[in-house]
């Protein structure tokens, strides 16, 4: 059974609504407005719990929490040839591999 506490939640201020909004990354279409950050978090967690229960009841696949997914550490990025060349030069000047340079830039 999916533990909804493992999903990725965020609470932010909504200037348009004049309230805090609770969001869940794995369920991007859901949100919950509340006067306090704590209430916004509690509200979005309840909504996610209700939606997950409905999905389970209807046999729909339930999103896996990002924190529980396995990541290979590899992904492919297409960039313009000139950017590739400039990065290769920068890596050579720093005495590191292009992979190490790109990884450091992405982590920054």
Q: What CATH number matches the domain at 4-67, 1.10.150, 3.30.160, 2.40.360, 3.40.720? A: 3.30.160
Residue by residue, DSSP assigns 62-76 as: PPPPGGGS---S---
Domain boundaries, the chain: 4-67, 73-107
pLDDT of residue 41: 98
What does each C-alpha distance from 39 to 2, 26, 44 come to in angstroms? 22, 20, 9
Q: What's the CA angle centered on 28, arms 70 and 38, to 5 degrees? A: 95
pLDDT of residue 1: 59
Residue-by-residue pLDDT tens, the chain, 108 positions: 579 999 999 999 999 999 999 999 999 999 999 999 999 999 999 999 999 999 999 999 999 999 999 999 999 999 999 999 999 999 999 999 999 999 999 998
pLDDT of residue 24: 98
């Amino acid at each position: 059974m999916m533990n909804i506490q493992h999903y990725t939640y965020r609470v932010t201020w909504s200037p348009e609504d004049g309230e805090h909004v609770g969001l869940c990354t794995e369920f991007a279409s859901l949100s919950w407005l509340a006067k306090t950050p704590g209430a916004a978090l509690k509200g979005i967690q309840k909504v996610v719990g209700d939606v997950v229960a409905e999905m389970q009841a209807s046999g729909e696949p339930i999103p896996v929490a990002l924190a529980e997914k396995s990541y290979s550490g590899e992904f492919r990025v297409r960039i313009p040839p000139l950017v590739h060349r400039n990065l290769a030069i920068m890596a050579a000047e720093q005495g590191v591999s292009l992979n190490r340079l790109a990884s450091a830039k992405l982590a920054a």
